[in-house]
Each structure stands twice: as structure tokens, then as C-alpha cells.
Amino acid sequence: MKKLYAPSTVNEIRNRHDFKNTKSLGQNFLTDKGIIDKIVDGAGVCEDDLVLEIGPGLGVITWEAAQKAGKVIAVEIDKNLIPILKETLADCDNVEVLHQDILKTDINEVINRELATGKYKNVKVIGNLPYYITTPIIMKILEDGVEAESLTFMMQKEVADRIQSAPGKKTYGAVSVAVQYYCEAEILSKVPRDVFIPQPNVDSAVLKLTVRKEKAVEVENRDLFLSCIKAGFGQRRKTLLNSLMGVDGMTKDGVKAALEGAGIDPSRRAETLDLEEFATLANQVNKQLQGK
Ligand code: SAM
């Protein structure tokens, strides 16, 4: 078995290509097979799968995923990594590397083109994410309605904790409610700093998001629902009565009526509301805005 991930190999490749990691692109490369397996096997990658990998770097996860997947499409922003990936993945005929910014990629177009071949049953998204854009990447995939079964990502542990948090916890916030609306979240593993080159100055975790086939709650207007969550947590210390004022031009009386309609005490704060309460409240706000 090829050991692309071995620290000596990772360093040899970087030195031979005179490659310098760019901190601003979140380039911390994995050097531990056990952790790579946590991502690839945690996602349950198998031969029926089309895998989308975000940020392949030197290709250490890509190569392992390619041994198990039908096809891997890897999206990498750094042009200096493209010739390296050509070399490290030369023996994988089921990998396509796209030199693109994932935030500007039409992911649905990329995936639908492959699904149209009829070769793949499921789409799984994986990656050791560039930490500086973890939330934007996750929200883009979820809001774009990408037809993925799951998203299994290495990320900053603090962000993983926030995503899978529950009402009343200090870590509970807008990202917890927004992501849990789309997915079930599970932390598969905590990850120490010394499995990366260079070592990041934060702790990491592998988080698996299993996309719900049916949404956990009924939401009439998704954008308004997300705006209510954002506004509620944007001013955490304020009561919902005050924090929701102004959402889509809502007046204090309108918010009061919406809270009453939802059976929620106006003095409560966003951090105490669960997903279902947020949905009920957003539907009531929608009702007010429609003048119903
Ligand atoms: N997968 C490799 C590994 O585990 O060793 C590299 C992971 S590294 C944490 C993140 C990777 O994402 C880097 O290769 C970086 O260049 C790439 N990246 C950063 N921003 C990106 C973006 N907007 N779109 C695509 N790739 C990006």
C-alpha cells in the first residue's frame, strides 16, 4: 500500500516541488492513516459512490478515497498543488482534479454531470477543510441543495462542537440550528494537533453530517427562517422580542404577535429555542409579514 501520508513522504514531496504551505489557505496536511480512515470510512465510501473532496492538498485523502470510491472529484484552489496532485494521483484513473475555488464552484452542475452517467448511486462529500471557510462551505452545500448523502469533514473542534450543540449550551448558536435543520450531526473523532504538517494552533475533529431525507421541521419560508435564526443569535443577550424586530421590516407588535402565535414567551432568548420552536416562530413571523 502506498504511504503518501507518511510525514517523510509529505516532506519529501514539499521539498522536491519547493512547495511552501500557505497559511491563509488553511494548508495543514494530514499525515496519519488512522485519521484519513476516520474520514473515508466514516463517510462509508464504497464503489457505488461519487465522492466530492474539498481541498485535496497533496492528495493523501484523495488517494485513499480513490481506492474505495467509484470516482473522486477533488476541488483545489492552489495552482501550485495541481502539478503535485498529477504526480501523487498518477496511479488513480478514477480521480478528476478541478482547479477552482469551492465557494465559486457550481457544485450541482459538477455532480449532476456525473450522476447523469448512471454509474453512481450516492454522493458523499469529504475533506480536511480549509478552516477559515468551514461554515461558508457547509452552508453553501446545504443551501444549494446538493444531492449528497453525507458530508464528512475535518474541521476546527470548536466549530464541530458548535454545529452539534443543543439549546442551553454555551456553544449553541445560529450554525447549530441552521445545520441541524438540514442534517444530523455526529462527531466521529477528536484529532490531535501533531497529525498535521504544519501543526495548526487549534484542536480539530472529524464531524459527519448526514443529510436528512426529510427535513426535521416544516418551514414555510426558508430564507426568513434563516434570517430569524441569524437575528436571534446576532444579539444573543437581547430577548426575542427585541432581537427579531426589524427582520424583513417586522415591527415590535408584529414580533409580539408572532411569538404569541408560536406560544413562546417574548422574554426568552434565542439560545433557549430548539429547532422546532425556531421553525414555529419563523412560520408565525411569515404569517405576520403576509398579513394573515
Ligand atoms: N486534504 C489535504 C490533507 O488533508 O492533507 C489538504 C487539507 S488542507 C487543511 C485544506 C486544503 O484546501 C488546501 O489544499 C488548500 O489549498 C485548499 N483550499 C483552501 N481554500 C480553498 C477553496 N476556497 N477552494 C478549494 N480549495 C481550497
Contacts of 110 (CB under 8 A, 6+ apart): 52, 73, 98
- 31 closest CA partner among 13, 53, 49: 13
Task: Give the pairing type, strands 183-191 and 71-76.
Answer: unpaired
Mean pLDDT of 213-225: 94
Domain boundary pick from 211, 233, 267: 211
Q: 173: which 3 cell numbers? A: 448558536
In this predicted model, what pLDDT tens digit does every residue of 116-131 receive, in sequence order? 999 999 999 999 999 9
Q: Is residue 266 part of a domain?
A: yes
Give yes or no for a contact between 212 and 219, defined as CB atoms under 8 angstroms apart.
no
Name the residue at shortest CA distance from atom 17 of ligand 1: 55
Mean pLDDT of 250-267: 96
Q: Looking at the 3D structure of the chain, how many domains does it have? A: 2
In a shared domain, residues 175 and 268: no
**What share of the chain has pLDDT > 90, as a percent?**
97
Distance 102 CA to ligand 1 centre (A): 10
**What share of the chain has pLDDT > 70, as a percent?**
99
Distance 232 CA to ligand 1 centre (A): 32
pLDDT for residue 236? 83
Using the predicted structure, report yes or no on whether residue 292 has a pLDDT greater than 80: no
In a shared domain, residues 179 and 237: no
How crowded is residue 90: how many other Cβ atoms within 10 Å of its Cβ? 10
Mean pLDDT of 90-114: 98
Task: Indicate which atom in ligand 1 lies nearest the CA of residue 25.
Answer: 19
Q: Is residue 16 part of a domain?
A: yes
In a shared domain, residues 133 and 268: no
Strand order in the sheet with 95-99: 95-99, 71-76, 49-54, 122-128, 150-156, 204-211, 183-191
The angle subtended at Cα 107 by Cα 85 and Cα 152, nearest 5°, is 70
Using the predicted structure, report yes or no on whether residue 198 has a pLDDT greater than 90: yes
Mean pLDDT of 5-17: 96
Mean pLDDT of 202-225: 96
Start-to-end CA span in the chain (Å):
65
In a shared domain, residues 92 and 138: yes
Give residue ranges with CB within 6 A of ligand 1: 25-30, 54-58, 60-61, 75-78, 81, 101-103, 128, 130, 133
* Pairwise CA distance, residues 163 & 283, whole Å: 23
Q: Is residue 72 part of a domain?
A: yes
Distance 28 CA to ligand 1 centre (A): 8
Name the residue at shortest CA distance from atom 20 of ligand 1: 25
- 163 closest CA partner among 125, 130, 210: 210
* Pairwise CA distance, residues 210 & 261, whole Å: 32
Distance 130 CA to ligand 1 centre (A): 5
- Domain hosting residue 276, numbered range: 222-289
Mean pLDDT of 55-84: 98
Entry pTM: 0.96
Q: Is residue 2 part of a domain?
A: no
Mean pLDDT of 47-70: 98
